Amino acid sequence: MTFPILSVIIFSPIVAALIILVMPAERKTEIRMTALVTAAFALILSLWVYLNYDQAAAGYQFIEKYAWMPQLGISLHLGVDGISTPLVLLTGVVMFTGVIISWGIDDRPREFFAFLFLLASGVFGVFVALDLFMLFFFYEIAVFPMYLLIAIWGWVKTREYAAMKLTLYLFIGSVIALVGALAMYFESGMGTFNMLALETANFSPEFQKIWFLPVFLGFAVLGGIWPFHNWSPDGHVAAPTAVSMFHAGVLMKLGAFAALRVGIMLLPVGAQYWSWLILAFATVNVVYGAFIAMTQTDLKYMIGFSSVSHMGLVVLGFATLTPEGMTGAGVQMFSHGVMTALFFAATGMVYDRAHTRQIPELGGMIKPLPFVGITFIIGGLVSMGMPGFSGFVAEFPIFMGVWMVKPWVAILAVISIVITAAYIMLAIRRTFFGEMPKEFEGHITPISVMDKVALTLLSGLMIGLGVFPQIMVPMVATGVENVLRLLGGA
């Protein structure tokens, strides 16, 4: 029997969370070190999975299957394909950097890291689950710690409201999708939640048309799809830095990923039937998100809405149902995850020192915080889709895919790039350049070496992927091939 690496990845954060919970609350340093070691461990394992994924063989790999509840055909069935492998790596990266960024949390760090790790476990679980039931199981695990993380450690002004809003939105979405999943389970008559088996269930077209929208949109709520995106910016803003990183970096991908895995892959006919609607929603996402982002003065709100816009591109890519579009969307998930994690990390560092995120009140931050400034700029360039960075590598094929389906949508959606360029550049300039307001002088302390490690890791990934797309794109493409096979070999 081979080493059950995927289950170790999923369960090591939970184990760590339990260990942390039994540690005495006063020993904050030990708690943090435990957290860091666990995160590093998860990162190394996920990197190992990434490097050892056999692209030539494609398909699902590192498969583990344990009967969990044979009566209903539920099993702990894990495996990764070309789409989920990068996402596992992404989670590892965000988790690791998130722990580093949260080093300074002083209010009940024990509970904080425990909840954060529970969240991480859930996220890992969704990405590797090949069992529909388990996917939901982990999905919910990933959602609810958010409530506490935001409500307890979040931004005092809006945290209660935002946390509740977020939880309710996501919960509604997921349970509606759950009904769809149950309907699939019984309709198939196979008595199994195994998604690989359900892929072959050949649901009737009528059934697929009815259930595709609830399932896809139910999950896509977490992906921030318009008109259900409203929870997302509020949540980003209210959340503490590491949670924002997780939230925008990984959680939103969870929604898009599950929408793909369950919605498109299990109900391909439904996907084809409704793709125009999803395309329309996603286009609104992309353009509207960018416009709203431009009007924001709070740095975090700006990033929050830009996430809505960027996640719109992911959904847009999926909705094209073309190899290019979907591959691009897969890469965009990774790229955007790293990018927003970086954005939120950098914003958090500025906020911790300046105690404001209002862009007009900031300025000249590059002097005391050169490293933060430069990495933020790199993030900005990724966000604009600047060639040479991962954003371009991801967005370009998405637009190609859109061209193939609806050329006018491509033209419309491209507007968002100009708008993005404008607001990102303005934000960079106002925050990091210009005169530094008097009251900040002497208050802006330099960031720590660990912070630099986190920022370097994130920006390095974006440049690496931008310069050498081959390190990830072909892998995603193999995953997409499988999706396309289900869609009827398009």
* Positions 164 through 193 that interact with another protein (CB under 8 A): 164, 167-168, 171-172, 175-176, 178-179, 182-183, 185-186
Compare residues 4 and 474 and give the one whose CB is closer to another protein. 474
Residue 417 makes contact with another protein by CB under 8 A: yes
Residue 388 makes contact with another protein by CB under 8 A: yes
Given candidates 33, 411, 453, 490, which one binds another protein under the rule CB under 8 A? Answer: 411
Smallest distance from another protein to CB 144, Å: 5
CA distance 298 to 308: 15
- Compose the 104-143 pattern: x for residues touching another protein by CB under 8 A, - for all others: ----x-xx---------------------x--xxx-xx-x
Question: Token pair for residue 236?
Answer: 């980003």
What is the total count of residues that contact another protein (CB under 8 A)? 77
Residue 433 makes contact with another protein by CB under 8 A: yes
- Region 217-256 residues binding another protein, contact defined as CB under 8 A: none
Residue count (the chain): 490
- Region 50-89 residues binding another protein, contact defined as CB under 8 A: 67-72, 74
- Is the separation of the CB atoms in 292 and 305 below 8 Å? yes
Residue 474 makes contact with another protein by CB under 8 A: yes
Residue 399 makes contact with another protein by CB under 8 A: yes
Given candidates 393, 436, 455, 487, which one binds another protein under the rule CB under 8 A? Answer: 393
Question: Token pair for residue 133?
Answer: 């039931």
Whether omega for the bond prior to residue 227 falls within 30 degrees of 0, making it cis, is: yes
Smallest distance from another protein to CB 415, Å: 8
CA distance 153 to 158: 11
CA distance 490 to 478: 14
CA distance 122 to 141: 5
Which one-letter DSSP state was computed for residue 240?
-
Q: Name the pairing type of β-strands 74-80 and 61-69.
A: antiparallel
- Region 305-324 residues binding another protein, contact defined as CB under 8 A: 323-324
Residue 327 makes contact with another protein by CB under 8 A: yes
Given candidates 341, 454, 477, 484, which one binds another protein under the rule CB under 8 A? Answer: 477
Cα 216 to chain center, whole Å?
17
CA distance 300 to 307: 10
Smallest distance from another protein to CB 410, Å: 6
Residue 37 makes contact with another protein by CB under 8 A: no
Residue 469 makes contact with another protein by CB under 8 A: yes
- Is the separation of the CB atoms in 185 and 273 below 8 Å? no
CA distance 297 to 301: 8
Compare residues 96 and 395 and give the one whose CB is closer to another protein. 395
CA distance 383 to 248: 14
